[in-house]
Amino acid sequence: MVPRYLERLAGVLVDYSTGVREGDLVCIDTGPAAAPLVREIWRHVLEAGGHPHLRLDVDGAPELLLREGSDEQLAWVSPLRREEVQRSDVRIAIEAEVNTRANSRVHPERQARAERARDALRRIHFARVSSGDLRYVVTLFPTPAAAQDAEMSLSEYENFVIRAGLLDRDDPRGEWEALGRAYAGLATRLDARKEIRVVGDGTDLSLGVEGRKWIPCAGRENFPDGEVFTGPIETKVDGTIRFTYPAGYAGRRIGGVELEFRAGEVVRARADEGEEFLREMLAVDEGARRAGEFSFGLNEAVSEFTGHTLFDEKIGGTVHLALGASYPESGGKVESALHWDFVCDLRNGSEVYADGELIYRDGRFLDGLL
Amino acid sequence: MTDPRIERLAALLTDYSLALRAGQVLRIDSLDAGSPLVLSLYEAALRAGALPYTNVDLPGLTESLLQLGSDEQLTYLSPIQWQEIEELDALVTIWSEANTRALSRVEPDRHAAYIAAQRKLSNRRWQRISAGEMSWCGTLFPTNAHAQEAEMSLAEYEDFVYAACHVHEKDPASHWRAVSTELQRRAAELGSVRELRIVGPDTDLRLGVDGRSWLAADGRYNMPDGEVFTSPVETETEGEIRYTFPAVYHGREVEDVRLRFEEGRVVAAEAARGNAYLQSLLEMDAGARVLGEAAFGLNYEIDRFTRNILFDEKIGGTMHFALGSGFPETGSENTSGLHWDMICDLRSEGEVYADGELIWKEGRFLAEPALEVVESGVRGS
């Protein structure tokens, strides 16, 4: 990424997304590939009066643990990780993978074990974010590996990332604030609804959302962003959904996923690619079989599938559903070590109804809603 | 493909230096340039059943803190850092700079404030190390920056570093166990000496070492290693010494240092280059004019000066004498903010006498150490 955009991205993350203030302990969580962005963020944090703290995973170490680790080693959480989650005022996570498929050959059962080990930390993290003690944002630094997943050159991919974050606009922060207001309006209108029904190719799914809160997302916790989500009622998800795009998770890719829900629980799951891993993840714990999140992707600057959830779930004209943990701020009550998003493209004649009324068609809300 | 020497170094660190056991928490500190060794070490630790994690830094961040940080930011130590120290069973520091002179232009006062704050953490770490609650070893992963400092190509420097660690051979641990035995014997033998006299070009120095313990540096705290050292009696150093190699302190070089001691204290000092810096360091505090360490460098794989104290102080055939703080475990009473190792090459003309008897000539002890093995001090098996 050219320095001008790195600088802008760092500025937005530190000043807008996480609002770093004097005295904040700011944990920057990433891999070595993101070094150019880390330096910019580090500088911005210092200028904002914060205390930057770097948490860098060496490329290859997580794979080694999954490959070589004993059960005890897989289940262990380092004091550094724990203290970071408990003590940071701000966490800025930057995904910067050098190989998005490095874990493809790890036994799924071992990965499930490692997921469970991190559950306690994840709970603390979610609780602190929810209560406002911890401000958190996750972003992505464009690497050749991510470009490869997107089937782009690195420079094409960088441009995609820049556009998706509105970093090519004169005032990215102002743009995100304006979007935030629009999303908040949509969220308020959705808050009044009891049931959402999604109808499309291979998909007819109803979700109970009465009393749940829809949360507008405009670049605070994800960057780039662009969605409005809620946590469906745990016992009121029924029907079938077929996801359009492959879903990456923990260094693997699973494609052609189809789920059938009854009374909130997955009763049938299949995948064209990676079905064994899907089953193993569904068995991680009780909550892994439930939908913790349902969301509308609203970022019009992201229009194509690039193989990375952070972007794919924001594609304007899609919805996504996550298996596993819900975000407490939405009123969702699913607890799980898992949170795995699957994206469904609705720009192909699909429809969404709210309490029986058509509100969305072909990937867009009907007039006046957004 | 991984250089097999890196894997051997990793195994040597976990098995020999740290004697890492199952269930022990190990932190691996490095700059990102050290990643190949970090990974090998991580793997070796996993195989040993330990609980390793990495703490990797990027070049440029400390620099930016030193440039931009407020006084509060410069001296800030996070609760994360304090808590971590208490939970470590073992720590490895891998030095692997991308630019050894990156901090040359930082304001000295700000740098000093930063170092002083960091020292609070390292003091606590040393407390735990001395109490036997944790182990520590410092080593180096060869980078172009270090090679450049040593005036070698990276490939030459790698050969140099790995030979110094003896990981160019198949079973480095058995080499270091043999070194340990020999150094322990040598240290035990030197323990009965009352006075050392060092004679060389422009050098005739007498040190009182009566009652002081000599210790073997055998690869536990440093890799490579290879010295025996003590802290001389504070009031008995007499005579003159001329240091052949540049003396480096915090990245600044002072060349051709000559010191004259009377009753343990430096009474005259001059340097061909960097004399002002030398004089200012001698004024640091009362202990700065007193020798805190005298040591024999005994690693003969290290045969040249490379501007890195990890190697230089162990050059086989040299001695080093440090101005400033001594080692309490040897019986030393000297305290100072300074500990400045200066190295004296004795390979071509040097002689060392112990209580009047010639024991060392042209960089070598004349006799093998006596066979009094101090078994308890030998790391084992």
Q: Which residues in chain B touch residue A33, judged by CB atoms under 8 angstroms apart?
A: none
How close is the nearest chain A Cα to the Cα of B124, in Å? 17
Percent of chain B topping pLDDT 70: 97
Mean pLDDT of A273-281: 93
Is residue B311 predicted with pLDDT exceeding 60? yes
Is A78 in Cβ contact with B51 (below 8 Å)?
yes
Chain A residues touching B88 at Cβ < 8 A? 79
Least confident residue range of A103-107, B81-85, B156-160, B303-307: A103-107
Write down the pLDDT at residue B372.
Answer: 58
Percentage of chain A lying above the pLDDT 90 cut: 82
**B380 has pLDDT over 50:** no
Q: State how beta strands B222-223 and B135-140 pair.
A: parallel
Q: What is the mean pLDDT of residues A345-354?
A: 96
CA angle A296, A300, A303 (to 5 degrees): 90
Q: Please give the residue that has the higher pLDDT: either A367 or B45.
A: B45
pLDDT at position A135: 97
pLDDT tens by residue, B82-132: 999 999 999 999 999 999 888 888 888 888 889 889 989 988 998 999 899
B29 to chain A, any CB pair closer than 8 A? The answer is no
Quick: pLDDT tens for A129-158: 989 999 999 999 999 999 999 999 999 999
User: What is the average per-residue pLDDT within B355-371?
Assistant: 92
Please say if the pLDDT value at position B378 is more than 80. Answer: no
Note the pLDDT of residue B373.
52
Q: Does B98 touch chain A (CB under 8 A)?
A: no
Q: Angle at the Cα of A301 (from A298 to A306), degrees rounded to 5? A: 90
Q: Residue B329: how many CB atoms within 10 A of its CB?
A: 11
Task: Report the pLDDT averaged over residues A8-13.
Answer: 97
pLDDT tens per residue across span A204-227 = 999 999 999 999 999 999 999 999
Mean pLDDT of the B59-67 span: 93
Kindly tell me if the per-residue pLDDT of B381 is higher than 80. no
| B294 bridge partner residues | B230, B321
Query: With an 8 Å Cβ cutoff, are B46 and A69 in contact?
Result: yes
Average pLDDT over residues B354-371: 92
Going from the C-alpha of B363 to that of each of A261, B225, B355, the distances in angstroms are 81, 17, 18
pTM of the predicted model over 0.95: no
ipTM > 0.90 (yes/no): no
pLDDT at B163 over 50: yes
Chain position carrying tokens 């040597």:
B12
pLDDT, tens only, B343-359: 999 999 999 999 999 99
- Smallest Cβ–Cβ distance between B43 and the set A42, A64, A72 belongs to A64
- Predicted confidence at residue A20, as pLDDT, reads 98
Instruction: Dig out the tokens for B335 from the structure.
Output: 């305290």
Among B60, B68, B80, beta carbon nearest to A47? B68
User: Whole-angstrom Cα distance, residue B260 to residue B268?
Assistant: 5
Q: How does the average pLDDT of chain B come out, rounded?
A: 93
Pairing state of beta strands A25-30 and A90-95? parallel
pLDDT class of B375 with cuts at 50, 70, 90: very low
